[in-house]
């Protein structure tokens, strides 16, 4: 079978991480079996359109590394991949359904529908279009229906759902699913303005574009019986269905903005790396091996099995995502981090930094941070000499005692004479000094860190000094000693 899958977003806002997971699973599946991946823009609901959303969705998908073979601006043999450019097609198919009695005209006004809902509510019934009491071609008869249609009366076309018949389908992830027609609404297929609803356009396009597998979120599961009926009514072969598990907050509620960021755009802005996000999202509902966590896109593709996706909701574990980002920060080439960091440093006004210098600092600190932007703050003393306010007061109190200046000054003098400003040469010198004085490492390393950086934590100090360079290190030591001498700490 030729595998053709699609990601079919509605341009109603930013790409949600749930949408990213759907796109990604479609992509992994297509690539794992040599199939075709399509993007189709489902913009039939004109009232929910957000200007710019289509562009932003596509940008987020590109950023995430998901590639499409067909779609708007990409090409393919199935006409435009934007539903608003295919409206005539849907109308034609709605009429086919009228012709074979799988759908019918209904003339109820919004007010009448509202009144029906009220009645049902009062009677404790689930809201559902009541075909037998409302104004439609069955209650009005053929003649009257024709008359109304000719008189340009507003109408919708509804799907004729067989009452009390089981609608059955197989879901790759969930197995056999069966719903009784009694519980399915006579869905509007064509609205009174002539626009199709999601259900009609979605099914017509999936058929027209020869989609072999519909892979989408669990929230679409209640729509599937309607789609199954549509396939039957048209006499078309159904695609394979696969409904992906919901994404949940830690407390098992549905993932929502109230619990933090949910859009790809947000994560991008917060400094997440694209592959860290896709790796994390790929494991929400599936894991190729069980205990491995870090996978390249190639590994994800090689291991993907649609039938191995879980049914149960997947917890969106934010600390794990952050951890994953830190793992990727250690893995990717430093030049890649540089590209993201350089504009941030510029923005902070840290100028005249040589690229090689910045690259060494990235190497020095990357094991200690989770985000590119952390380099700016965490490594502030590497971008600019700390001024008096940058010194951590508690650290001064703890590490700079009455006799520290006396103890450290001779060592600084030996540093001044050191020709080879490398961490190894400094190490030898320090060890010698400690032996001579009978001191422990910490007795000098903490004060040195304080003088050079002002901060209690950082990377290996001697490497830090090597990168700062001899001149800069000596200026920092001397400045500190002067402040100490003047009682200005
Ligand atoms: N347009 C729907 C959405 O926004 C597509 C659902 C489906 O994949 O059928 O998610």
Q: Is the CB of residue 216 below 6 angstroms from any atom belonging to ligand 1?
A: yes
Q: Is the CB of residue 473 below 6 angstroms from any atom belonging to ligand 1?
A: no
Taking phi over 0 as left and psi of -120 to 50 as alpha, with beta for the rest, 73 belongs to left
For residue 7, list its beta bridge partners. 39
Instruction: Give the H/E segment covering residue 476.
Output: helix 470-485
Closest C-alpha residue for ligand 1 atom 3? 9
Q: What distances in angstroms separate CA 135 from CA 103, 152, 397, 422, one per listed residue?
A: 14, 15, 84, 89
What burial class does residue 30 get, using C-beta atoms within 10 Å of its C-beta: 0-12 exposed, 13-18 middle, 19+ buried?
buried
Residue 260's pLDDT is 82
Task: For residue 8, give the ligand 1 atom closest to its CA.
Answer: 5
Query: Which residues have a Cβ under 8 Å from the Cβ of 306 and sit 6 or more positions away?
Result: 25, 29, 172, 173, 213, 215, 242
What burial class does residue 148 get, using C-beta atoms within 10 Å of its C-beta: 0-12 exposed, 13-18 middle, 19+ buried?
middle
- Angstrom distance (rounded) from CA 457 to CA 96: 72
For 237, other C-beta atoms within 10 Å of its C-beta total 8
Query: Which residues have a Cβ under 8 Å from the Cβ of 404 and sit 6 or more positions away?
Result: 447, 484
Please give the backbone phi and psi of residue 130, each rounded to the nearest 5 degrees, phi first.
-95, 95
Whether domain 87-190 has CATH 3.90.1150.10: the reply is no
Query: Which residues have a Cβ under 8 Å from the Cβ of 351 and sit 6 or more positions away?
Result: none
Question: How do strand 240-244 and strand 213-217 relate by DSSP bridges?
Answer: parallel
DSSP 8-state assignment for residue 403: T
C-alpha torsion angle, residues 450, 453, 457, 459 (rounded to 10): -120
Query: Which residues have a Cβ under 8 Å from the Cβ of 10 and sit 6 or more positions away?
Result: 41, 42, 43, 45, 48, 198
Q: Is the CB of residue 37 below 6 angstroms from any atom belonging to ligand 1?
A: no
Task: For residue 206, give the ligand 1 atom closest to its CA.
Answer: 9
- Angstrom distance (rounded) from CA 367 to CA 100: 67
Closest C-alpha residue for ligand 1 atom 10? 9
For residue 170, list its beta bridge partners. 176
Could you tell me the distance, in angstroms and rounded to a whole number, from the CA of residue 86 to the centre of ligand 1? 17
Contact predicate 7/47, CB 8 Å: no
Please give the backbone phi and psi of residue 196, each rounded to the nearest 5 degrees, phi first.
-80, 160
Closest CA to 213 of 36, 17, 82: 36
Residue 488's pLDDT is 83
What is the CATH architecture of 388-485? Orthogonal Bundle (1.10)
* Helical pair 274-282 and 17-32, crossing angle rounded to 10 deg: 80
Give residue for tokens 């430093």.
334
Q: Is the CB of residue 220 below 6 angstroms from any atom belonging to ligand 1?
A: yes
- In the chain the first and final C-alpha atoms are separated, in Å, by 76
Q: Which of 27, 46, 196, 198 to mutate to test the pocket of ligand 1 (most atoms within 8 A of CB)?
A: 198
Residue 27's pLDDT is 98
Could you tell me the distance, in angstroms and rounded to a whole number, from the CA of residue 353 to the centre of ligand 1? 48
Query: Which residues have a Cβ under 8 Å from the Cβ of 438 and sit 6 or more positions away?
Result: none
What burial class does residue 20 get, using C-beta atoms within 10 Å of its C-beta: 0-12 exposed, 13-18 middle, 19+ buried?
buried
Contact predicate 353/421, CB 8 Å: no
CA atoms within 13 A on the CB side of 225: 21
Per-residue pLDDT of the chain (489 residues), as tens digits, is 799 999 999 999 999 999 999 999 999 999 999 999 999 999 999 899 999 999 999 999 999 999 999 999 999 999 999 999 999 999 999 999 999 999 999 999 999 999 999 999 999 999 999 999 999 999 999 999 999 999 989 999 999 999 889 999 999 999 999 999 999 999 999 999 999 999 999 999 999 999 999 999 999 999 999 999 999 999 999 999 999 999 999 889 999 877 888 999 999 999 999 999 999 999 999 998 878 999 999 999 999 999 999 999 999 999 999 999 999 999 999 999 999 999 999 999 998 899 999 999 999 999 999 999 999 999 999 999 999 999 999 999 999 999 999 999 999 999 999 999 999 999 999 999 999 999 999 999 999 999 999 999 999 999 999 999 999 999 999 999 999 999 888
Q: Is the CB of residue 18 below 6 angstroms from any atom belonging to ligand 1?
A: no
Task: For residue 19, give the ligand 1 atom closest to its CA.
Answer: 10
Tokens at residue 62, please?
Answer: 């590109």
Instruction: Give the H/E segment covering residue 5.
Output: strand 4-7
Question: How do strand 188-190 and strand 247-248 relate by DSSP bridges?
Answer: unpaired
Q: Active-site residues: which are they?
A: 257
pLDDT tens per residue across span 210-265 = 999 999 999 999 999 999 999 999 999 999 999 999 999 988 999 987 788 899 99
Question: How do strand 247-248 and strand 166-171 relate by DSSP bridges?
Answer: unpaired
- Angstrom distance (rounded) from CA 15 to CA 450: 45
Closest CA to 424 of 463, 474, 452, 458: 463
DSSP 8-state assignment for residue 162: P
Could you tell me the distance, in angstroms and rounded to a whole number, from the CA of residue 10 to the centre of ligand 1? 7
Contact predicate 422/362, CB 8 Å: no
Q: Is the CB of residue 43 below 6 angstroms from any atom belonging to ligand 1?
A: no
Task: For residue 9, give the ligand 1 atom closest to its CA.
Answer: 4
Query: Which residues have a Cβ under 8 Å from the Cβ of 449 and sit 6 or more positions away?
Result: 399, 455, 456, 458, 461, 464
Q: Is the CB of residue 234 below 6 angstroms from any atom belonging to ligand 1?
A: no
Cα three-residue angle 54-224-181, rounded to 5 degrees? 145
E strands, 88-218, in order: 103-106, 156-159, 166-171, 175-180, 188-190, 213-217
Task: For residue 12, give the ligand 1 atom closest to its CA.
Answer: 4
Could you tell me the distance, in angstroms and rounded to a whole number, from the CA of residue 271 to the centre of ligand 1? 28
Q: Is the CB of residue 213 below 6 angstroms from any atom belonging to ligand 1?
A: no
Q: Is the CB of residue 227 below 6 angstroms from any atom belonging to ligand 1?
A: no
Query: Which residues have a Cβ under 8 Å from the Cβ of 295 and sit 6 or more positions away?
Result: 279, 282, 288, 303
Could you tell me the distance, in angstroms and rounded to a whole number, from the CA of residue 9 to the centre of ligand 1? 5
């Amino acid at each position: 079978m030729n595998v053709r899958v699609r990601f079919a977003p509605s341009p109603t806002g930013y790409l949600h991480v749930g949408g990213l997971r759907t796109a990604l699973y479609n992509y992994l599946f297509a690539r794992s079996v040599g199939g075709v991946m399509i993007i189709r823009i489902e913009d039939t609901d004109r009232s929910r359109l957000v200007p710019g959303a289509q562009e932003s969705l596509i940008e987020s998908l590109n950023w995430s590394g998901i590639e499409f073979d067909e779609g708007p601006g990409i090409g393919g043999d199935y006409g435009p991949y934007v539903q608003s450019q295919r409206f005539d097609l849907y109308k034609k198919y709605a009429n086919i359904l009228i012709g074979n009695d799988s759908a019918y005209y209904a003339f109820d006004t919004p007010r009448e529908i509202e009144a029906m809902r009220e009645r049902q509510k009062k009677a404790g019934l689930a809201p559902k279009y009541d075909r037998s009491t409302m104004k439609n071609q069955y209650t009005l008869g053929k003649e009257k229906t024709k008359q109304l249609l000719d008189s340009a009366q507003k109408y919708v076309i509804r799907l004729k759902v067989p009452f009390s018949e089981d609608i059955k389908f197989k879901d790759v992830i969930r197995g056999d699913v069966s719903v009784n027609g009694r519980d399915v609404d006579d869905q509007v297929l064509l609205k009174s303005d002539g626009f199709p609803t999601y259900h009609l356009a979605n099914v017509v396009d999936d058929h027209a574009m020869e989609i072999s597998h519909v892979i989408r979120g669990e929230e679409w599961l209640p729509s599937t019986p309607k789609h199954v009926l549509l396939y039957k009514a048209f006499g078309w072969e159904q695609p394979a269905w696969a409904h992906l598990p919901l994404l949940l907050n830690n407390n098992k509620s549905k993932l929502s903005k109230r619990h933090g960021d949910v859009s790809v755009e947000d994560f991008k802005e917060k400094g997440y790396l694209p592959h860290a996000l896709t790796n994390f999202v790929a494991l929400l509902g599936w894991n190729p091996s069980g205990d491995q966590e870090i996978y390249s896109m190639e590994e994800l593709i090689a291991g993907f099995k649609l039938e191995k996706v879980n049914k149960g909701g997947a917890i969106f574990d934010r600390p794990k995502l952050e951890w994953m980002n830190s793992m990727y920060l250690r893995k990717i080439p430093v030049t890649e981090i540089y590209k993201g960091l350089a504009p941030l440093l510029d923005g902070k006004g840290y100028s005249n930094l040589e690229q090689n210098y910045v690259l060494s600092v990235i190497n020095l600190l990357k094991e200690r941070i989770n985000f590119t932007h952390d380099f700016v703050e965490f490594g502030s003393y590497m971008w600019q000499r700390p001024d008096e306010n940058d010194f951590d007061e508690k650290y001064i109190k703890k590490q700079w005692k009455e006799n520290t200046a006396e103890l450290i000054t001779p060592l600084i003098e030996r540093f001044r004479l050191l020709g080879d400003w490398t961490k190894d040469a400094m190490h030898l010198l320090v060890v010698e000094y400690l032996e001579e004085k009978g001191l422990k490492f910490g007795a000098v390393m903490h004060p040195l860190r304080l003088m050079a950086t002002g901060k209690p934590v950082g990377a290996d100090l001697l490497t830090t000094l090597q990168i700062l360079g001899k001149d800069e290190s000596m200026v920092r030591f001397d400045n500190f000693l002067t402040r100490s001498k003047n009682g200005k700490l």
